[in-house]
């Protein structure tokens, strides 16, 4: 999704670039949840997902990820995603994601990708 979002952005397809960018951060949260929860449930509600992520981040194992800067404060690290993105916007004809929105989201998902790469390097994500 990261690559697709980048390609769409570079080709001035900002709406879909933004749509996919939000999913990058959503998937990051789900990866952290899978690492920290031996029996993760599938969560599709964004607020519930965010709260579950925060609870697991506060556990002993979660704090190890925090210490290694692999489980971050998602709202502080990715503020544009949490201000601009919601998957339901895809079906909302009145909602507009533009170049400015896309630029903000592209910067944030690039940071997210760096965290995911470090998670792979540290063995939390298997290739």
DSSP 62-107: HHHHHHTTSS--HHHHSHHHHHH--GGGGG-TT----HHHHHHHHH
pLDDT value of position 46? 80
pTM (whole model) above 0.85: yes
Indicate the burial class of 118 (C-beta count within 10 angstroms; 0-12, 13-18, 19 or more).
Answer: middle
pLDDT in tens, the chain (127 residues): 999 999 999 999 998 999 999 989 999 999 999 999 988 888 877 888 889 999 999 999 999 999 999 999 999 999 998 888 877 777 776 678 899 999 999 999 999 999 999 999 999 988 7
Q: Give the separation between CA 100 and CA 9, rounded to whole angstroms.
A: 11
pLDDT value of position 86? 75
pLDDT value of position 93? 66
Long-range contacts of the stretch 26-33 (C-beta < 8 A, 24+): 27/1, 28/74, 28/112, 28/115, 28/116, 29/53, 29/74, 31/116, 31/119, 31/125, 32/56, 32/57, 32/62, 32/65, 32/70, 32/71
């Amino acid at each position: 999704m990261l690559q697709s979002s980048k390609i769409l952005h570079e080709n001035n397809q900002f709406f879909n670039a933004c749509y996919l960018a939000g999913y990058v951060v959503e998937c990051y949260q789900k990866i952290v949840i899978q690492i920290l929860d031996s029996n993760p449930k599938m969560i599709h509600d964004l607020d519930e997902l965010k709260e579950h992520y925060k609870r697991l981040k506060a556990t002993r194992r979660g704090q190890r990820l925090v210490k290694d800067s692999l489980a971050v404060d998602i709202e502080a690290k990715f503020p544009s995603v949490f201000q601009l993105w919601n998957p339901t916007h895809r079906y909302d004809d009145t909602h507009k994601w533009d170049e400015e929105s896309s630029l903000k989201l592209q910067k944030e998902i690039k940071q997210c990708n760096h965290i995911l790469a470090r998670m792979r390097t540290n063995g939390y994500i298997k290739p």
